[in-house]
A and B are shown apart, each in its own frame.
Chain A
Amino acid sequence: MIKITQWTVVCLVLCLSISTAFSQGLSPPANVTAVDTANDDGSSITLKWDAAPEDSGISGYQILRRIADGDLEEIGELLPAGTTTYVDSSIEKGSAYAYAVRAVSETEATVDSEQTAPVKGTGEWFHTGKISLFTAMLLFGAVIVWNIYYARSGKDIFVRRIPGLEAVDEAIGRATEMGRSILYTLGLGRVDDVPTIASMTILGQVARRTADYETPLRVPCRDPIVMNVVREVVRTAYLDEGRPDVYNEENVFFVSESQFAYAAGVDGIMLREKPAAIFLQGQFFAESLILAETGNSIGAIQIAGTDSEHQLPFFIAACDYTLIGEELYAASAYLSREPMLLGSLRGQDWGKVLIFITMILGVILELSGVNWITTLLQKVN
């Protein structure tokens, strides 16, 4: 029994000596600095340290953090060897933190670096890394504003034929002749989604025509806020046409926020009310084919439009007309012929010409071994 105890003590001493020897061989991470992360909202601090030599025996790093007078505590997972930076995103704004980096060997021996000076996370008003993007946006914005002024000066702006939009009057006329309603769905988008905003502008134009013809316009909504805004859009359209008496608030209604409950509800409305024309304009997801197929099965004339590239094939397959991607955004200018929208459309075309030129020039330059266009595009991103 005494022998076993003696052997155990000897083994423990040996282990301790080996681990101490190894830990003495490890060098602590050098030049550890902690600075407030640039261009953020003050919610992170960035740590940097020098890379250790390959034969240093370091198998990973553990970050240690201390708040005010507290003790150092481990944060995050063990970082792999070779790491030289760490972003601590779990800080509280306004609190000062000091850090140390612990080098860990394969035998789990450890050695800590010196502690950094305490650092606070502070937010920046301007993201300097986005200046190139900001400049590009200003350029595009200037082109669009110039074109809007051009359109407002009374000069005629040509807009090419968009078959899906020429069918709008046909669809409304058909519904009026048949004495049936028109169903307009804006899809699943929120009020701040660009396709929903574009769809509301088209809805305004459709509502003007339905006000004239006294054709019932039914708008089932998925989002309560969208519903409120849509009611305003439709009401304003009816007022502008001098037909507030025809406007019925109940025709713009909420169904459900759940994607498939909404689809089931709209399908039910299609089957029971049998609208003569269906507009599917906005942001759609997996429910697109369910809606378009049901509309097709009741024989309604369907005009769809979305920028969701995965849903466009279904609309093309099941609807009479489909507005593809940007055609949805061009629709409002096409239908209303308002100088501001027409000018904006022309400005966007100029932007496309700029992209076209950049692309062709970029290809020629890349083939000649000059890569400043790709470098510039990289900077913008």
Chain B
Amino acid sequence: MVLAIFFVLSIGIGSVSIPFSDTCRIILGHVTGSTPGAIIWKIRMPRVLSSLFCGGYLAAGGLLLQVFFRNPIVGPYVLGISSGAILMVALVMLGGLSMGLPAIHPLFLSLAAFCGALGVMVIIVAAASRVKSIVTLLIIGLMMGYLCYAATSILIAFAEREKVKGFVLWQMGSFSGFTWQEFYLVMLLGIPLLVGAYLMSKPLNAFLLGEDYAKTMGVNIRLFRFLIITFSSALAGLVTAFAGPVAFIGLAIPHLARITFRTSDNRVLIPGAVLIGAIVTMLCDLVARTIFSPVELPLSAITSLFGAPVVIGLLLKKRGTI
């Protein structure tokens, strides 16, 4: 319900304002002929829908890793997924890996980001089957992040100024320019991952007690480690590939979900986090593109500015329950 209202609002508000009733009419009647109809159906609809789905993916990915690491301050990017994506995009945008094309096609950029995320993920999964302790794995992830970051900085140092600006903006994440084609891709790739994550909620619940307990309760630790890292990384990688790294959502939404639903049961929490993640991301995107319209603010700035104080406030109020 909340989702539906915000959804219509998000579609209606923009640099060209469209009245609420018109928006409803256009959406329900699938009007594409008029100018508002074109704006809604060609630009805003895929953008808002994408922000919804990506927000959900990030929240789910973050939740998986928070349970897995039994640490409330990890997010989907903690294993270096975003750093890998950033490095690959830097290579393309700054390092001249554009194969002589005059303009870089957005899909090619997405592909590069996805490859980067995937590369880091493969390394982490390989490490996961070797190391015994989860904490070691966390440290390897962090180190991977630093390595990629170092390589990216070197690329930035040698790059032209104009290109760096574009790159920095990409690094802050944005849902602008999402086409229907991209949206379908994101949706079709992501939904199986979400379903998979939900099916893992039983072993995830066992993980609330820690890896040792989970093992004595019959969880196949090796398989489960592999699945959890793969799913969370794929979710985060998918979003990063199309929208760039979006900060805060994956880290904070699981907390909001836990507080909202007053449970750590992942069967409730996974759908809950997906829902809240979707709403919050959509709203943040709305704010990012409207508040200083026509200048669009970086999405990560909004998500962090809005979200971080909210989470701190909620945590202080409900101290001791997380």
Indicate whether A and B interact. no
Chain B interfacial positions (CB closer than 8 Å to A): none
Chain A interfacial positions (CB closer than 8 Å to B): none
